[in-house]
Structure 1
Amino acid sequence: MATLLVLYGRPSDPAAFDRHYAERHLPLVRKLPGLRGVTLSAGVEVLSGDDLYRVVRLEFPTAEAVKAALGSAEGLAAAADLANFADGGIQIVAFDEVAA
């Protein structure tokens, strides 16, 4: 399995962020080809590093599926939408998972 983590910094207007994310952005994300699951943080406690507001985990079958999803029309639409609500900054991390 491969994971895409999206880490959102604290927005200037959390209520507007939440509204836009739920009504506009999440429906775009759910259309990503190959997406197997989406998990949203209920709250974020940062133990080290920059303040975060929300962490979103997207699950895909493979790293290649992550790349294909990001380069798809749906992925480009979701990326373009970030400027509409993510004013607190964003970090995106992709990785393959292996059992330890």
Structure 2
Amino acid sequence: MYKVVVLVIRKEGTTRDEFLRSWRSEHPRFVEQMPGILRYRQSPAIQHKSVWPFDGMAELWFASLGDIAAAFKGPEAKALFDHEEHFIGDLKWFVAEEFEVPLKERT
């Protein structure tokens, strides 16, 4: 299983509430249209006294690297990217394999 990990910075001039409304309420309908996507998770940064370098993280799971390439080449990706221009200022991303690391039982 592979996933695309995206670190998101909201668009300048967009409030946190505006950003979250667009990302959490509107954006999932664009993501779910992408072919081959298996799972989608959003992790908005909590409000904190410190200023975080990112406003959130998204994870998109796919069965193969080929599925990722196909998903991001199609018209569904264009619609997704067009929507992102309304509320995302910048993003950093990478493709990863996920490995569960068992933790020792605590006593």
Give the TM-score range, shorter chain: 0.7 to 0.9
Q: 2:9–2:91: 8 Å Cα contact kept in structure 1?
A: yes
SS at match of 1:76: helix
Distance in 2 (alpha carbons) for counterparts of 1:64 and 1:73: 16
Q: Which secondary structure state, in structure 2, belongs to the residue aligned with residue 84 of structure 1?
A: coil
1:67 is matched with: 69
Taking a change above 3 Å as real, the CA distance of residues 22 and 55 of structure 1, as seen in their structure-2 partners, is: same
Q: Deviations over 1:34-59 (max 9, x none)?
A: 00001111536xxxxx7011100000
Structure 1 gap ranges (5+) = 45-49
* Correspondence list, 1:1-100, <5 A: 1-11=1-11, 12-43=14-45, 51-87=53-89, 89-97=90-98
Residues in 2 aligned to 1:24 and 1:97: alpha-carbon distance in whole angstroms: 27
More deviation in 2-11 or 89-98?
A: 89-98
Structure 1 or 2: larger helix share?
Answer: 1
Structure 2: state its 5+ residue gaps. Answer: 47-51, 102-107
Q: Distance in 2 between matches of 1:35 and 1:43?
A: 23
TM-score normalised according to structure 1 size: 0.80
| Residue type at the aligned position of 2:34 | L
- Distance change (3 Å), C-alpha of 1:25 and 1:42: closer
